Amino acid sequence: MDAPFDIVRASHIEYVVTDIDEARRYYSATLGMVETASEGSRVYLRGIEDRTHHSLVLTEGRRPGLSHMAFRLRSELDMKKAERFLEAEGIRHSLAEGEEKGIGPSLRFQDPSGFPVELFYRTDAVEWELQKYHSHHGGRIMRIDHFNVLVPDVAGTVKWYVEKLHFALSEFTEDDDGSMQAAWLRRKQSSHDIAVMRGHGPRFHHAGFIVSDRDSILDCADILSSSGYFRSIERGPGRHGITNAFFLYLRDSDRHRIELYTGDYMAADPDLQPVRWSVHDPRRQTFWGAPTPESWTNEASDVIPFDFPAHHKD
């Protein structure tokens, strides 16, 4: 059975931050993301490898939060199919155009777990920074990779993304009673586009950004520490058993979290079996054993629900 519409991949997020200058200093000057555009108190950033207009939008506001996470669709036709799907499912949504620079029309809705999701298919062309090595700096962030969210009912959220949106299950953790505690789901050909972990929710745990290699992550930790961002390093560097990726978790001044991430696997084949981890295996989280800090387990960004106009299309 075909998917109701074709999601290509996790494509960008928008974080509301309380100090846009500080956020810009952190993500652009320090971590090395590239500024594509800005307007008022909103900045559009992309990674060195991104060929889309942005993978991170920072918008100044009074309360920090995730204002949306966006998946890119394959084509205009998929937008139409997505709209029909949302109508058929009875999910409130709106069609926005021009609210966000650099992309075409976008469909916005709250998913059944409460996350503000945006779908779009068109993006403005931007210069490719990949081989402008002399301009790379800081964390040398290459591209966005995945979203990680917290929900009370992991199995329920996973079921929706797998059965309705045709995500594939790459890995999962399970308690002794067979209950799913966390899951890594993919559309593109890597371990995941979205991970779902059990916790108070809906909250947004982090966005993962790819870097080239482990040394880029180690260099970034050095740079953060030496440039006054010692406290922004929350966890790592280390290797995850799950996904096999090498990681570093960072918190910005509004406590939004991102992960620098490298070294997971290609997942192109259609018959890959999901990898099961017991929640009692400590190597699932940290292959080398360093304890997970409490803040990582307990803290996450609030999500800001879309505020649909009274007479919007739903």
Chain residues that interact with its own copies, rule: CB under 8 A: 8-9, 30, 49, 51-52, 72, 74-75, 122-123, 125, 128, 130-134, 137-138, 143, 188-190, 210, 212-215, 218-219, 221-227, 230-231, 233, 235-239, 241, 244, 246, 263, 265-266, 268-273, 275, 282-283, 287-291, 293
Burial readout 294-304 (b: 16 or more C-beta within 10 A, e: otherwise): eebeebbbebb
For 44-105, the DSSP string reads EEE-SS--SS-SEEEEE-SS-EEEEEEEEES-HHHHHHHHHHHHHHT--EEEE-SSSTTB--
Distances (CA, A) of 225 to 64, 97, 177, 232, 246: 24, 41, 43, 8, 19
CB of 222 to its own copies, least distance (A): 4
Nearer of residues 87 and 222 to its own copies, judged by Cβ: 222
Residue 113 or 262 having the CB closest to its own copies: 262
Q: How far is the CB of 268 from its own copies (least distance, A)?
A: 5
The residue (of 123 and 148) whose beta carbon lies closer to its own copies is 123
Measured from the CB of residue 92, what is the shortest distance to its own copies in angstroms? 28
For residues 111 and 104, the answer to whether their CB atoms sit within 8 Å is no
Nearer to its own copies, 84 or 132 (CB): 132
Smallest gap from residue 63 Cβ to its own copies (A): 27
Q: Which is nearer to its own copies, 164 or 188 (CB)?
A: 188
Query: Closest distance between its own copies and the C-beta of residue 6, in Å?
Result: 9
* CB of 235 or CB of 256, closer to its own copies: 235
* Closest CB 129 distance from its own copies, rounded Å: 10
CB nearer to its own copies: give 143 or 257.
Answer: 143
* Shortest distance (Å) from residue 281 CB to its own copies: 10
C-alpha 110: how far from its chain's center?
16
Report d(CA 199, CA 252) in Å as an integer. 21
Which are the contacts of 248, defined by CB distance < 8 A and separation ≥ 6? 217, 220, 221, 233, 235, 236, 237, 259, 260
For residues 262 and 216, is the Cβ–Cβ distance under 8 A? yes
DSSP 164-232: IT-PEEEEEEE-TTS-EEEEEEESSSSS-SEEEEESSSSEEEEEEEE-SSHHHHHHHHHHHHHTT-GGG
Smallest distance from the beta carbon of 49 to its own copies, in angstroms? 5
What does the block give as tokens for 159? 């079921």
* Nearest residue (CB) to its own copies, 122 versus 164: 122
